[in-house]
């Protein structure tokens, strides 16, 4: 790989930039060195030697010792900015309105909301009777009390029974995304004895108020594959099997229809889905298939007022919307509601008694389209910022004419609106309050289009302080993901102000592999097109430099999970472009992971990355897999993070990657591995603990940029 000229020193006003060293300089002798225990991996007559394969042994004391050594090393290398890190944390917390409450919603005679209290890490879930606003609140769940004495606590899937008397929820105290389902009597405050162990985090209630459906997980692969039925008060080991998914590439989840008449079992993998259904008032009936699975056919359904609505990509790459009456409708009976369009991606829909709200995406911007179910003209809600996020968030009761939606941009804090679909009236219920003197008018947001090396136009969302000069002297952080068809939202983030107020430009590269520009944008960044994701990101980085958004010596990059794979590939392909890179929970050992079907996520991601048991995919994936392409070159300064209990990307991938880079790379740039020994893929669970992690990342960037004063 050819190296381009490096910036050996850069003079700036606020401090000294950490510089690249000359090739061949000895690395830090104090850095940890993992023991090499060569392990051969052979397939397709090709043998790879993995000297750090043993780091997979989670219970091995040597593994834990190595991770702790890396943490101590990271701490020592960041000691000079420890005070800055503390200041960043305090500044972040100072912007948060600590005692706060969400906009309430009504459901079956109660008003529900979530609130936070000063100094407390976790939410408190509450409700009041709708007909008595002066009545004292009922605390359904105080997560702070549940988290006492725990290093990690994640609560999800809160669901109230149809008679409003019982609460079900999932709790995870490890971070492995294996939840225990518990039940609480909301009238007495007592916990039921029932507990369902190591499953997905939510249930759906049958109409009888005593039967719940849940999804069981494979204990090793964590694949959600069994739907079971539990009757409260009976032994869990007697729970009936409703459906078991035999295909290892498929995952299951359950949800209830908008009409609340049906429980849907959604079975899906990357390119194919199938929905089964049973009536909520007949919990012991057999589930039946709405439409049989077919290769390359993805669909999802909902139901209201006797009609099923189907979002489908059948002969429609950007999806279309159908409707049909009847329980087992033939495909020929499906009626077009919204036909396919080449330039508009239909991403979702929400049903009301009188309206269908359709979420679309055009020119990399989201749209909300309101269609009367009885016929008539459609309405598009207007939004005028150059880059923004809008998301329909309807309340549980479909009888209303008020559509609730969230709106945000990189300069507008999250805002909850309601729009009357009959009268056109719009009202703002709440906007996130940002303390500490924040004024939106002090910041600028832009949408630009970079040109890739193959001529493709790539959308780029930018935000910066109005006083930041756009003359090529500002440090810039470029963020990207580019996988699974996930579109990266240009949303507001108050923690980002730590960088913007210190002169950083922040850019989101909406690279191929997402779905910002429709299904083709996704298809052009997966399987044999995966390298487009990496080259797009690199070309956006060069665009930022060429158009004076970034100082050439202070361009930084960050991505997490599959975005961490992006970081790993980018630093191999363009090691001289970025001064520093943050790779969070990075998926970097692509080939070995995708060859191992005992690892969570592997089997049902073959259509995303390819199946390396096939020689063609093996060779292609091997050509970009970051771990397999570590070279004797100078890499940028690197901060790599992971969680010991990560269920999505196992901790050993980033650990092995760092170990191999320590052995192989040249130069003495920072190479830091920070492992959260008490958390998983999403990092810390408490809101303030998360801010500590953010402050650490920002201190790393500001240290590199010479902005520590």
Q: Is the predicted pLDDT of residue 27 greater than 70, yes or no?
A: no
Q: What is the pLDDT of residue 10?
A: 28
CA–CA separation, 255 and 410 (whole Å): 32
Q: What is the pLDDT of residues 284-298, one digit of tens each?
A: 999 999 999 999 999
CA–CA separation, 186 and 435 (whole Å): 35
Q: What is the pLDDT of residue 59?
A: 87
Q: Is the predicted pLDDT of residue 223 greater than 90, yes or no?
A: no
Contacts of 217 (CB under 8 A, 6+ apart): 178, 198, 199, 200, 223, 224, 225
Q: What is the pLDDT of residue 15?
A: 41
Q: What is the pLDDT of residues 653-676, one digit of tens each?
A: 999 999 999 999 999 999 999 998
CA–CA separation, 653 and 627 (whole Å): 8
- Global pTM exceeds 0.85: yes
Q: Are 355 and 372 in contact (CB under 8 A)?
A: yes
Q: Is the predicted pLDDT of residue 684 greater than 90, yes or no?
A: no
Catalytic position from the list 579, 645, 681, 698:
681
DSSP line for 186-245: TTT-PEEEEEEEEE-S--EE-TTSSEEEEEEE-TTT--EEEEEEEETTS-GGGPEEEEE-
Name the strand (E) or helix (H) holding 701: helix 687-705
15 to 106, 286, 443, 704, 706: CA distances (angstroms) = 54, 69, 24, 10, 4
For range 84-111, the mean pLDDT: 95
Local confidence band at 1 (pLDDT 50, 70, 90 cut-offs)? very low
Q: Are 707 and 502 in contact (CB under 8 A)?
A: yes
Local confidence band at 564 (pLDDT 50, 70, 90 cut-offs)? very high
CA–CA separation, 138 and 167 (whole Å): 12
154 phi and psi angles, rounded to 5 deg = -125, 125
272 phi and psi angles, rounded to 5 deg = -150, 140
Local confidence band at 636 (pLDDT 50, 70, 90 cut-offs)? very high
CA–CA separation, 254 and 215 (whole Å): 7
Q: What is the pLDDT of residue 18?
A: 44
Catalytic position from the list 646, 647, 685, 698:
646
Contacts of 662 (CB under 8 A, 6+ apart): 27, 31, 32, 33, 34, 671
Q: What is the pLDDT of residue 645?
A: 76
Local confidence band at 604 (pLDDT 50, 70, 90 cut-offs)? confident
State percent of the chain over pLDDT 70: 94
Q: Is the predicted pLDDT of residue 5 greater than 50, yes or no?
A: no
**Stronger pLDDT, 603 or 704, i.e. the higher one:** 704
Q: What is the pLDDT of residue 679?
A: 62
Q: Is the predicted pLDDT of residue 379 greater than 70, yes or no?
A: yes
Average pLDDT, the chain: 92
Tokens at 451, concatenated: 């040109």
Q: What is the pLDDT of residue 605?
A: 85
Name the strand (E) or helix (H) holding 124: strand 124-129
Contacts of 377 (CB under 8 A, 6+ apart): none
DSSP 8-state symbol, 679: -
Q: What is the pLDDT of residue 685?
A: 66
Name the strand (E) or helix (H) holding 346: strand 345-351
Catalytic position from the list 202, 561, 625, 647:
561
* In 97-147, alpha helices (H): 143-147
Give yes or no: 21 in active site: no
Domains of the chain (ranges plus CATH)? 40-93+437-705 (3.40.50.1820), 102-339 (2.130.10.120)
Q: What is the pLDDT of residue 22?
A: 38
Local confidence band at 603 (pLDDT 50, 70, 90 cut-offs)? confident
Q: Is the predicted pLDDT of residue 3 greater than 70, yes or no?
A: no
For range 408-415, the mean pLDDT: 98
Give yes or no: 681 in active site: yes
Q: Is the predicted pLDDT of residue 29 greater than 90, yes or no?
A: no
Distance of CA 80 to the CA centre of its chain: 32
Q: What is the pLDDT of residue 328?
A: 63
CA–CA separation, 518 and 496 (whole Å): 28
Give yes or no: 465 in active site: no
Q: What is the pLDDT of residue 473?
A: 98
For range 613-631, the mean pLDDT: 97
Q: What is the pLDDT of residue 683?
A: 59
Local confidence band at 260 (pLDDT 50, 70, 90 cut-offs)? very high
Q: What is the pLDDT of residue 422?
A: 97
């Amino acid at each position: 790989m050819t190296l381009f000229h490096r910036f050996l020193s850069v003079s700036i006003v606020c401090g000294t930039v950490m510089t690249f060293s000359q090739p061949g300089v000895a690395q830090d002798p104090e850095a940890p060195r993992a023991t090499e225990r060569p392990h051969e991996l052979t397939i397709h007559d090709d043998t790879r030697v993995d000297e750090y394969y043993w780091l997979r042994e989670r219970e091995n004391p040597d593994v834990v010792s190595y991770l702790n050594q890396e943490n101590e090393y990271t701490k020592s290398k960041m000691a000079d900015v420890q005070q800055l890190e503390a200041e960043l944390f305090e500044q972040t917390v100072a912007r948060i309105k600590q005692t706060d409450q969400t906009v309430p919603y009504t459901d079956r005679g109660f008003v529900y909301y979530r609130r936070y209290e000063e100094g407390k890490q976790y939410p408190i879930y509450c409700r009041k009777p709708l007909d008595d606003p002066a009545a004292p609140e009922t605390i359904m769940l105080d997560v702070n009390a549940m988290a006492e004495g725990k290093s990690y606590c994640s609560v999800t899937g809160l669901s109230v029974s149809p008679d409003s008397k019982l609460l079900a929820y999932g709790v995870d105290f490890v971070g492995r995304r294996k939840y225990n389902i518990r039940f609480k009597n909301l009238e007495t405050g007592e916990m039921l004895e029932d507990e369902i162990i190591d499953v997905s985090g939510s249930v759906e209630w049958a109409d009888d108020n005593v039967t719940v459906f849940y999804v069981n997980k494979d204990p090793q692969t964590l694949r959600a594959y069994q739907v079971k039925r539990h009757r409260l008060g009976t032994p869990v080991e007697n729970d009936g099997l409703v459906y078991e998914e035999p295909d290892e590439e498929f995952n299951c989840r359950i949800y209830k229809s908008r009409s609340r008449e049906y429980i849907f079992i959604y079975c899906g993998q990357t390119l194919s889905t199938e929905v089964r259904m049973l009536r909520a008032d007949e919990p012991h009936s057999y589930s039946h298939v709405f439409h049989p699975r077919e290769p390359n056919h993805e669909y999802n359904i909902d139901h209201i007022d006797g009609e099923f609505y189907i979002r489908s990509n059948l002969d429609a790459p950007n999806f279309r919307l159908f409707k049909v009456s009847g329980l087992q409708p033939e495909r020929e009976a499906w009626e077009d509601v919204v036909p396919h369009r080449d330039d508009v991606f239909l991403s979702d829909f929400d049903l009301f008694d009188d309206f269908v709200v359709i979420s679309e995406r055009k020119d990399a911007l989201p749209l909300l389209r309101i269609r009367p179910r009885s016929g008539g003209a459609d309405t598009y809600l207007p939004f005028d910022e150059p880059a923004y996020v809008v998301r329909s968030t309807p309340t549980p009761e479909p009888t209303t004419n008020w559509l609730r939606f969230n709106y945000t941009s990189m300069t507008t804090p999250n805002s909850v609106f309601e729009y009357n679909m009959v009268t056109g009236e719009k009202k703002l219920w709440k906007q996130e309050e940002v303390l500490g003197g924040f004024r939106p008018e002090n910041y600028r947001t832009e949408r630009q289009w970079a040109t890739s090396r193959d001529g493709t136009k790539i959308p780029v969302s930018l935000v910066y302080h109005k006083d930041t000069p756009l003359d090529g002297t500002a440090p810039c952080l470029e963020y990207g993901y580019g996988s699974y068809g996930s579109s990266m939202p240009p949303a507001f983030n108050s923690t980002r102000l730590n960088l913007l107020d210190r002169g950083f430009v922040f850019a989101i590269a909406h690279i191929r592999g997402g779905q910002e520009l429709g299904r083709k944008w996704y298809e052009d960044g997966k399987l044999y097109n995966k390298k487009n994701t990496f080259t797009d990101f690199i070309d956006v980085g060069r665009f930022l430099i060429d158009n004076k958004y970034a100082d050439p010596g202070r361009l930084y990059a960050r991505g997490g999970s599959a975005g961490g794979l992006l970081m790993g590939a980018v630093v191999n392909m363009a090691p001289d472009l970025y001064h520093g890179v943050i790779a969070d929970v990075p998926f970097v050992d692509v080939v070995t992971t995708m060859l191992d079907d005992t690892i969570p996520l592997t089997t049902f991601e073959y259509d995303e990355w390819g199946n390396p048991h096939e020689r063609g995919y093996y060779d292609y994936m091997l050509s970009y897999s970051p771990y397999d392409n570590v070279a004797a070159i100078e890499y940028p300064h690197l901060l790599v993070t992971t969680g010991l209990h990560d269920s999505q990307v196992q901790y050993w991938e980033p650990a092995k990657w760092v170990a191999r880079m320590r052995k192989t790379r040249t130069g003495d740039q920072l190479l830091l591995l920070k492992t959260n020994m008490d958390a998983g893929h999403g990092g810390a669970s408490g809101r303030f603990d998360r801010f500590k992690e953010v402050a650490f990342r920002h201190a790393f960037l500001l240290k590199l940029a010479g902005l520590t004063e």
